[in-house]
Amino acid sequence: MLGRRAYSSGSARVATGNMRIDIIPVSDPDDPAVAAYRDVRERDLTGREGLFVAEGGVVLRQIVSPASRCRLRSLLVAESRLDSISDVIAAAPEGTRIHAASQDVLDRIAGFHLHRGLLGLGEKPAPVDLDDVLAGSGEDAVVLAAAGVGNHDNIGGLFRNAAAFGAAAVVLDDRCADPFYRKAIRVSVGSVLRMPSPAPRPLVDTVDALERAGFEIVALTPGATEALSSLRPGGRRALLVGAEGPGLPPGIIARCRGVGIPMSGGFDSLNVATAAAVALNQLTRG
């Protein structure tokens, strides 16, 4: 386990397994070494030029896992939480800077009370092309595509569902929210960091690419006459979902196989992430 010692000044060296790792103490919230973590919420809105901030032990374990498409650059950890993430520290890439601060200093750096006490700065993966991702998908691949979903919770939920049901990729159009927004990553329980997701395109371009690659596009829409339950797994399929409220454009639906989930109690639809989970289960499990 990591020792809780020598954080007041200088640099502590602590052992984890057969390695000795430097823990860099931070006592000043204005320390330039942790500038990337300052005022996290405001920085979330403006972006970080190829970087992102991840929060919590579950997500940090994903970023250092073999399945991750991203690279951890540094950690900022409450001193009291160092022992709890000894496995993350041991798995971090060589050269990762690990900073430790008191909870009070950590909160002042972040700009709010960070009750998890764990932040990581990561590098976004290299962009992948949609055509390349589709070409490399299997004969029975299922891809989840989303159009105009601007809510970060829903984006995170879509990625989590796609990973849970074995989707080959998540394809977002250019009107969707950034999946590397801190809250989206957290809601996805880190699946954003491992799921292939091509650079966003306009929706029409996405549909064109899916058709060229031989995918049947299944559009979820409340107005469909065909029920989702009529579908069975098999073949290349893309599940297309739209934003709650406006849904998918009629011209796009006309190019797809429109299906619906029958509702009761006067409701016409489910939350988009919930609906996607139901549909992915149908397309992958039957």
Residue holding tokens 């970087």? Answer: 51
From residue 68, how far is each of 59, 105, 123 by CA, in Å?
A: 10, 30, 11
pLDDT of residue 42: 66
Domains and their CATH numbers in the chain = 12-123 (3.30.1330.30), 130-284 (3.40.1280.10)
For residue 153, the tally of other CB atoms under 10 A from its CB is 17
Please say whether the beta carbons of 220 and 261 come within 8 A. Answer: yes
Q: Residue range 182-197: average pLDDT?
A: 96
Q: Is the CA virtual torsion 204, 209, 212, 215 positive or negative?
A: negative
Confidence of residue 39 (pLDDT cuts 50, 70, 90): confident
Mean pLDDT of all residues belonging to the chain: 90
Does pLDDT of 221 surpass 90? yes
Band (pLDDT 50/70/90 cuts) for residue 11 is: very low
CA 6 to chain centre: 35
pLDDT, position 18: 45
Question: How many whole angstroms separate alpha carbon 162 and alpha carbon 115?
Answer: 28
Residue 214 CA: distances (Å) to CA of 40, 207, 237, 241, 252 = 42, 11, 8, 19, 17
56-68 pLDDT, tens digit each: 999 999 999 999 9
The answer, yes or no, to whether residue 148 has pLDDT greater than 80, is yes
pTM exceeding the 0.95 threshold for the entire prediction: no
User: Smallest Cα–Cα separation from 51: which of 76, 77, 72?
Assistant: 72
How crowded is residue 207: how many other Cβ atoms within 10 Å of its Cβ? 23
Tokens of 95: 């050269």
